[in-house]
Amino acid sequence: MILKLAAEFRPMVWGSENWVISGYGERETRVAEGPVAGKTLNEVYGEQFPLLIKFIDARDDLSIQVHPDDALAAERGIGLGKTEMWYVMNDGGHLLVGLKEKISPDDYASLVKENRLVDVLERHETSKGDVFFLPAGRIHAICGGTVLCEIQETSDNTYRIYDYGRLGLDGKPRQLHIEESKDAIDYKVYPSYRTDYPSGRNVETVVVRDPHFTTSVFNLDKAVLVDMAGRGRFLAVMCVAGKGFVDGEPICEGEALLVLDQKEPVMLSPAEGFSVKFLTTHE
């Protein structure tokens, strides 16, 4: 069964985000057409869908933030943590991901108070196809001029650390979570924060393999069959460039389809005269 879901569009103070596959709270997506049209994703799935998938268009810098892991979220009684990944869909943007020098929790609080936190974060110039894996605890921010696809746990637990003194859409300063985030941050410095992967055409390239999700890239100029064995109950397919088909169902850049409870192989193909790039992800 292939489901097309009605996306939940959210205007934000910094741009917009489109929740294309979501089983989260009031922003749960509903089936847009077909025999089960109108049903929510969780109703069709039978329980809470484990992943949340968005397309984000950042016209301005997002807040600098961090997410708790599952253990800390459970300890605080706030549901799930939030491990996520980004696939960049345009050239010329940049991201802040990870620490470039070691700091302590006390250093962190001082840097925030002195408006100097950006000074210790690694800045990454980005191009189409760049991938960043963001385990819970890693400080990060999407910056203005960046368009990307985000795959994450079904959680909206975000600790906002710094927001450039902006006002929200309601005209009030947005809440910061300085104390709450102290215990959530991973204070280690890593040699690289970018996920490198080999370029390939008409093959599956796994870019993230994590207990929460496994994500692959397909760069296609011809049709390929994707075996569903070992992929669990679902395969989410996101079009991140061009246009094509998922088992004959049309899809174009910025859209997603959900293959649910299907044992037969899935055919991914470009539209005539096009090449297409898909992300696929599953538990």
Q: Where are the alpha helices (DSSP H) in the chain?
A: 41-45, 70-75, 105-113, 178-182
130 Cβ partners below 8 Å, 6+ apart? 86, 87, 88, 124, 194
Q: What is the pTM of this model?
A: 0.96
Question: What pLDDT is attached to residue 169?
Answer: 74
The CA distances from residue 4 to 7, 35, 62, 246, 256, in Å, are 9, 11, 29, 11, 7
Q: Where are the domains of the chain?
A: 2-182, 204-282
Q: Give residue-wise pLDDT tens across range 198-243.
A: 989 999 999 999 999 999 999 999 999 999 999 999 999 999 999 9
For residue 142, give the amino acid letter: I
The residue from 27, 116, 123, 160 that is catalytic is: 160
Q: Give residue-wise pLDDT tens across range 91-131.
A: 999 999 999 999 999 999 899 888 899 999 999 999 999 99
Q: Which CATH code, of 2.30.110.10, 2.60.120.10, 3.40.50.460, 3.40.50.2000, is assigned to 2-182?
A: 2.60.120.10
Whether residue 116 lies in the annotated active site: no
Alpha carbon dihedral 275, 148, 9, 231, in 10-degree steps, equals 70
Q: Give residue-wise pLDDT tens across range 35-89.
A: 999 999 999 999 999 999 999 999 999 999 999 999 999 999 999 999 999 999 9
Identical fold between 2-182 and 204-282: yes
CATH superfamily for domain 204-282: Jelly Rolls (2.60.120.10)
